[in-house]
Amino acid sequence: MTIDFSQGKVWKNIVSQAIPLTLAQLVQLLYNVVDRIYIGHLPGSDSMALTGVGLTFPIITLIAAFTNLFGSGGTPLFSIARGKQDEKQAEQIMGNVCSMLLGSSVVIFLFCYFFRRPILYLFGAGDASYTYADQYLQIYLLGTAFSMLAAGMNGFLNAQGYPGMGMLTTVIGAALNLILDPLFIFKFHLGVKGAALATVISQMVSAVWVLRFLTGKKAILKIRRKNLKPDGRLLLNIMSLGFSGFIVQFTNALVQIVCNVTLRSYGGDLYVGIMTVLNSVRELLSLPVMGIVSGSQPILGYNYGAKNMRRVKEGIRFTALIGITYTLFAWGLVMKFPHLLFSIFTPDAGMVESGNAALQMYFFGFCFMAFQFSGQSTFQALGYAKRSIFFSLFRKVIIVVPLTLFLPGLGLGVNGVFLAEPISNFVGGLASFTTMWVTVYRRLEDSM
């Protein structure tokens, strides 16, 4: 069976990819969000358990960064190779990605596990919050290989035209996590450790599922042993394109670290917990637009490889329009119901009261994030690695981090930390989208 993205309406192809991808990403997010919800409601822990788990976010994000380095770098190249009808090259790309995900996961696990104490204190832990952070992290890290393989290889199911199977990869694991979380946390009284254990088991099941499919009869292109041997030239191309996704996650981790340290200095552990909730809400509300841009990438890459520039242009326009429309709606939702969104994660009245205003500041102008996503994903899908990398760095490192450090000292205190995000969305989003429109979209039009 061959699925041809050069046929049919472009928007239907994108939506057919985006819907299961969004559902899959939602389910994937439940791995961590459900943990936070349960942990936020642990009896007797107040907000400290939630704060402790929030301190592990940078490490979890760094694991995602290395997953993207290979997974998000290999998938567009895989799609382009398929568009050129070069199946041998496509399978070699997939095999190299698999071996690098496995090898890097071992290195990451060993480093983070044995140095977790100094790392957590460097990331803003206090003596009270460290206890919870360490309990969660020392178990979570045991699933590093499962997490990276499941997330990094799942894109190859979607790129072959099996978004439904890609969705099942995460649905199966997340459903198991939803069952095991309350069982381990409350029934067996494992608390934070139980949340981490449920996540690891779920990730293991997801990894086994995706690997079995990609080595089985149903896959169009398969993982083959001969393609697992690293090819230096190919890996350079994969990492060059995947470096953008790596930078996105790496800079996310950097921002999380700077935010946690700054918030603890100006507001204490309470505001580190508030940022944990803000990150959770942002991840949830960003899912639909991320699903659209992720769903568009195989279609854009395939048609770009097939030199069908009219369809590439159409896909870019549709992705941008849907993303902007949705994020305007999400922004309105946050402004109208901040208390409802925040109270999902904690019953702590003090945290909810302080967090409502923070939530509204943090999400101000949320629609500009869609411009960032649209420009960034187009650069990545079409192989413009340097531009994608630049705008990843520009928004986070050049805008967010300096503002997070600078604004609180102007008398804004913790509010300065929360205001850095909307400013970066406005400046970085418009810069990324405008550059994409002028340097890529118009050139595609000229080449038609």
What does the mean pLDDT of the chain come to? 89
pLDDT, residue 28, reads: 65
Phi, psi (5° rounding) for residue 402? -60, -40
pLDDT at position 236 over 60:
yes
pTM: 0.78
Q: Which residue has the tokens 């990894």?
A: 207
pLDDT at position 136 over 90:
yes
pLDDT, residue 1, reads: 46
Percentage of the chain exceeding pLDDT 70: 96
Q: What is the DSSP string of 203-272?
A: HHHHHHHHHHHHTSSS-SS---GGG-S--HHHHHHHHHHHHHHHHHHHHHHHHHHHHHHHHHHHT-HHHH
- Name the least confident of 196-200, 246-250, 294-298, 443-447: 443-447
73: closest CA among 240, 242, 249, 302?
A: 242
What are the domain boundaries of the chain? 10-446
392: closest CA among 417, 373, 415, 413?
A: 373
pLDDT 10s digits, 184-193: 998 888 889 9
pLDDT 10s digits, 318-338: 999 999 999 999 999 999 999
Q: Which residue has the higher pLDDT, 168 or 304?
A: 304
pLDDT 10s digits, 333-376: 999 999 888 888 888 888 888 899 999 999 999 999 999 989 98
pLDDT 10s digits, 393-403: 898 889 999 99
DSSP 345: T
pLDDT, residue 196, reads: 93
pLDDT, residue 78, reads: 93
